[in-house]
Copies of this chain bind each other. A is one copy, B any other.
Amino acid sequence: MINSYPSKYLDNAIAELAKLPGIGKKTALRLALYLLKRPTEDVELFGNSIIEMRRKIKHCNVCKNISDHDICDICADQTRDTTQICVVENIKDVLAVENTQQYSGLYHVLGGLISPMEGIGPDTLEFESLIERVKSGKIKEIILALSATPEGDTTNFYIYRKIGTIPLTVSAIAKGISVGSDLEYTDEITLGRSIKNRIRFDG
């Protein structure tokens, strides 16, 4: 193993790079040496763009998605369906749903899922702001688009209980076999659920 580097500046940079998820000491060294070969201005641009991102990025006051403004572009978009809210765990999920081009409503980013194991309770997530939006009366449907995990199921159930008394439709994304996947490789629970939730075939 490589233990000591000939420069404390290199040492510091490698230690910082190795803190990134999925990046070990060896990859960090490779990245650091790559950055050393690039012009100083490029490396300054690299470092400063990351610092600037951390300093200046905001969260949308309405849906809690990241944004450069107080209200994000999706919430500010007058052409979108403002009667629907798709509830997701994080920012990546907003991008994932947007990329399907199957949804034109609004979002609500919880910032995580309820997980007693990891000490994440409802108080640390964006439930209060969701309830407030729902209570405004404009919303007709809440679509729960959370991961098909125990944490996702718990969070789904928690939201359903919280807004059960408010008259609106609550739905959850369908769970079934993935498009293009072989039936024989699908796990039993998923396959079982996809049979239970079968959809009438009308062409």
Give chain A's interface residues, CB within 8 Å of chain B. 1-3, 5-10, 12-13, 15-17, 19-22, 27, 29-36, 38, 40, 43-57, 65-68, 72-74, 90-92, 94-96, 99
Contacts and interface: CB of A to CB of B under 8 A. Distances in A.
B51 A43 contact: yes
Contacts of A68: 6-9
A16 B52 CA distance: 12
A52 B31 CA distance: 15
Contacts of A48: 47, 51
B94 A16 contact: no
7 contacts: A6-B65, A7-B68, A10-B53, A16-B50, A32-B53, A35-B50, A48-B51
Given A6-B73, A31-B20, A34-B20, A54 B43 contact: yes
A92 B7 contact: no
Given A46-B19, A51-B48, A67 B35 contact: no
A40 B55 contact: yes
A48 B108 CA distance: 34
Contact of A94 (B6, B34, B43): B6
Given A6-B67, A13-B52, A47-B47, 20 more contacts: A1-B99, A3-B99, A6-B68, A6-B72, A6-B73, A7-B53, A7-B57, A7-B67, A9-B57, A13-B53, A16-B46, A30-B92, A32-B53, A33-B92, A35-B50, A36-B54, A36-B57, A36-B66, A44-B54, A47-B48
